[in-house]
Structure 1
Amino acid sequence: MKLPLRGGCQCGAIRYEISKQPLTLYCCHCTTCQQQSSSAFGLSMLVERDGFRFTQGAPSAFSIPTDSKSNKLGLFCDKCGTRIANDTEGRPALSLKAGSLDDRARLRPVGHIWVKSAQDWMAFEDDTLIYEGPPDDSYYALMERWTAQELTDKPTS
């Protein structure tokens, strides 16, 4: 992906920039992500903290428990309510809500986590990684698959 990546909330009060390549992109089907996104799953992009910065505004935050029993801060715009990212304790990266990126055209998730909570109608592609709960390998397989996909995919423009 061509850097920097930029994004923000729906009303424009919060803007951010990513200066390092994302680590991975996956769909999370946990009940927390379903509720937070008001959808069947959340689209999450792991980004290194030192490669992410807010360029306009400051998000509000609230603490919520997760299905895996860790503490998570939800970072959101207090004007329009858009969730920007999740910051889970003990993780070296932020989980960016990829729908908040300005350019989402080439986003293709490499896996699905917490599929035991997935909607019954959800179908999964054969070439994606599937986890019943949280990844048992600390997201390494998802990161490796993402890197391989990024190396083989060519920009369409």
Structure 2
Amino acid sequence: MSEAVTSGGDAFVREGGCRCGAVRLRIRARPLLTMACHCTGCQRMSSSAYSLSAAIPSAAFEVTKGEPVIGGLRGASQHFFCGHCMTWMFTKPEGIDFFVNLRPTLLDDASWFVPYMETWTGEKLAWATTPAVRSFAALPPEDAYGDMIAGYAATWEGGDMGGRGG
């Protein structure tokens, strides 16, 4: 499928979908923050060393095709998957309605993505590294998020495309 991409000024539109294409989505804003999570739960859910997330403002996130299903852990935080290919697509964190944690590699073009912070490094596999500029043994303290969101936004303002040249 074709991807709509605009990245000048405030316009930032990206499209993507699951592996089989049954579920498609669109984001219309730059992420608030990008992350890699090394917790053992994410390792198991992603079948990888860590999971990647882009915190997308909820108002700028939409499913444009298909119906994601809830899977993974069925607690207060909801993990959404494609019901056909079972791709883990996004998470709606418990008690936090203003953003959706999107798996950024689902976007048709994720070349801009770089994790700004990494969490749960206390559980990471010894060889797993990321280029994140902020690192936390568990979750960051709540009062750290404002500075991190501002720091990540500055990477875009500098024309750095979220940490990657461009």
Q: Cα deviations across residues 11-53 of structure 1 (Å, max 9, x unaligned)? A: 1100011112211111011111111110000010001111101
Specify the alignment match of 2:35 in structure 1: 26
Instruction: Give me the identity figure in percent.
Output: 28
Q: Give 5+ residue unaligned stretches, structure 1.
A: none
After TM superposition, the structure 1 = structure 2 runs for residues 3-152 of structure 1, keeping only pairs within 5 Å, are 3-62=12-71, 64=73, 71-91=76-96, 92-125=98-131, 128-137=133-142, 139-152=145-158
Q: Is the 8 A contact 2:26 2:63 kept in 1?
A: yes
Q: Cα deviations across residues 77-133 of structure 1 (Å, max 9, x unaligned)? A: 0111111101111112111011111101111111111111111112354x6101111
**TM-score, with length taken from structure 1:** 0.87
- RMSD of the TM alignment (CA)? 2.0
Number of paired residues?
152
Specify which structure has the higher proportion of strand. Answer: 1
Which structure's relative contact order is higher, taking Cα pairs within 8 Å and 6+ residues apart? 1
**TM-score, with length taken from structure 2:** 0.83
